[in-house]
Amino acid sequence: MGSRRAAPVPSPFVSFAGYDLIVVGSGFFGLTVAERAASQLNKRVLVLERRAHIGGNAYSEAEPETGIEVHRYGAHLFHTSNKRVWEYCNQFTEFTGYQHRVFAMHDGTAYQFPMGLGLITQFVGRYLSPDEARAWVAEQASEIDSKDATNLEEKAISLVGRPLYEAFIRDYTAKQWQTDPKELPAAVISRLPVRYNFDNRYFNDTYEGLPVDGYTAWLEKMAEHENIEVRLDTDFFDVKDEIPAGTPIVYTGPVDRYFDYSEGWLGWRTLDFEQEVVQTGDYQGTPVMNYNDADVPFTRIHEFRHFHPERDYPKDKTVIVREFSRAAEKDDEPYYPINTAEDREKLERYRVLAKKEAAEKNVLFGGRLGTYKYLDMHMAIGAALSAFDNKIAPHLTDGSAINGDLD
């Protein structure tokens, strides 16, 4: 799948001249910048995408046997309280009324999640009023003073108590990080909210939904402006020397890769997926089931038919995807920054290089990979809109210098 102008043409045989802006990566940050430059400033934009499809990690496709839309790189749930971002996105897609809800499997029981009255009532085996639940959690959490916590385990116990920590946090966290929670810094879980009501909606944002026609259709719509060309199967590092000097570049790949890892390799977590077509109309009764126990190797199962109950999917088949988490190696797709103290030291050195690159070569770093920040989709779009307003548009209109800070 790709935009109608996206063509996997071998790069040495095509020209890079005549473009006002080069965007590296076709995820939400890159496409937002490209669309704004094309539609608002009438600039010619070339988007380079290393993969064979548009959209970065938000890409979705129909599973061929069932037709069920699958998010290839893990479930993407759109939500935001930013009205500007919401209105911007609605230019390219309508949204369903989907509200995300998750269940957590522990010791053979599926619990309501996040932590709230539903989960606590199930866990203790009787109804607790909001005040009773607060008192119960406070009693369990009194074992450790939060200010004295030195690692993730101690911090979590100080917030929700040992019983809930051991049932729902300890083993899930160990699987996510491939590290004993005692070895993780307390800051990783500095805030762990408990709802003292029965609201089990996962997100609290004002706006929420899934794109009616899917993520790929949404992303292709962003890229269909006549001033935008998308080249798939094109690695920026294979062609960067062909780009005319001084052409402004928005780079959304890994910042350490851009500088050839000169300041060290930044740590990332990656995900592995195991997809299966199951001969039933409904495998687990919910879009996402977390598996919190240590004896289950994966962290969760996605059943994508439940993301779009309004669609006419087969009644006798479904698609499930088991998700596994681990530390990324250099050839893996990076997903989430690990952000250890050592990573932050390296990042500060890359910040200096990025600022210099902006001043000397008009390169702006953006997106999750380019800034080494965990950004949800709405955050990436909001950051792109701000970067366009404050950095890219001034440069393209009056030649103002690009601020290369990784923000």
215 among known catalytic residues: no
376 among known catalytic residues: yes
351 among known catalytic residues: no
Contact 285, 278 (CB under 8 A): no
Residue 73 Cα distances to 36, 38, 260, 375, 380, angstroms = 26, 28, 25, 15, 17
Q: Which of 143, 183, 374, 405 is catalytic?
A: 374
Give the C-alpha separation, 388 to 80, whole Å.
19
Residue 187 Cα distances to 115, 147, 152, 270, angstroms = 19, 11, 7, 20
Eight-class DSSP state of 377: H
Q: Which of 191, 226, 260, 331 is catalytic?
A: 191
Tokens of 15: 């020209």
Contact 383, 374 (CB under 8 A): no
Q: Which of 229, 323, 343, 357 is catalytic?
A: 323
Tokens of 355: 């600022």
Q: Which of 5, 101, 134, 269 is catalytic?
A: 269
374 among known catalytic residues: yes
Q: Which of 36, 72, 195, 231 is catalytic?
A: 195
Give the C-alpha separation, 8 to 239, whole Å.
13
Contact 146, 159 (CB under 8 A): yes
Angle at 326 between CA 320 and CA 332, to 5 degrees: 90
Angle at 21 between CA 16 and CA 23, to 5 degrees: 90
SS3 299: coil
Q: Which of 51, 231, 300, 368 is catalytic?
A: 300
269 among known catalytic residues: yes
Eight-class DSSP state of 223: T
50 among known catalytic residues: no
4 among known catalytic residues: no
Active site residues: 191, 195, 269, 300, 323, 374, 376
